[in-house]
């Protein structure tokens, strides 16, 4: 019974994400939609807006995360689930993890999208390689003298409220 309820809920929100993707295609966008849910209620939705905005980060999942965070007035999306029409890319997965999203459910896999040029599997595979083996040049250029601390980090730390239960 519990799994049946979860399956019905998952199907409901996936159908909503797919409908957003269909509508986005009809409006000249890419076929991706996302629905961000907390406690069974939709907090935010998003569609891929790369074509409209010329912003390569304007993915459906990221726009839903941004909208939910603005609505809640917090970057903490703990307890939320994201339902996506397509398998989220590594950028979206990282953003959802940073936001505390607890669950991601998607309808169409990278394999489903590959023949349409809509798979990020190769990117995901490359990102798992050491930096020196990736196609992008990635290097660390130390800016600190040995034993010193990064000033912006130290300044940020000083501005943080004391942790709960601390004596500070």
**Residues acting as catalytic residues:** 61
DSSP strands (E only) in 15-79: 33-38, 41-47
Assigned token pair, 117: 């040029």
User: What is the Cα 23 distance to its own chain's centre?
Assistant: 21
CB environment 94-117: b (16+ within 10 A), e (fewer)? ebbeebebeebbbbbebeebeeee
Q: Is 88 exposed, middle or buried (0-12, 13-18, 19+ CB in 10 A)?
A: buried
């Amino acid at each position: 019974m519990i799994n049946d309820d979860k399956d019905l809920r998952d199907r409901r929100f996936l159908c909503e994400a797919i409908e957003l993707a269909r509508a986005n295609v009809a409006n000249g966008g890419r076929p991706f939609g996302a629905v961000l849910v907390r406690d069974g209620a939709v907090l935010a939705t998003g569609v891929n807006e790369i074509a409209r905005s010329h912003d390569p980060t304007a993915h459906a999942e990221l726009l839903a995360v941004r909208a939910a965070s603005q609505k809640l007035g917090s970057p903490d999306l703990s307890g939320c689930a994201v339902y996506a029409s397509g398998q989220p890319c590594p950028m979206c997965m990282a953003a959802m993890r940073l936001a505390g999203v607890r669950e991601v459910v998607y309808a169409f896999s990278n394999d489903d999208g590959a023949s349409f040029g809509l798979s990020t599997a190769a990117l995901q595979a490359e990102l798992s390689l050491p930096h020196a083996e990736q196609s992008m040049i990635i290097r660390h250029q130390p800016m600190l003298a040995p034993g010193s601390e990064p000033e912006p980090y130290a300044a940020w730390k000083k501005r943080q409220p004391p942790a709960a239960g601390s004596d500070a």
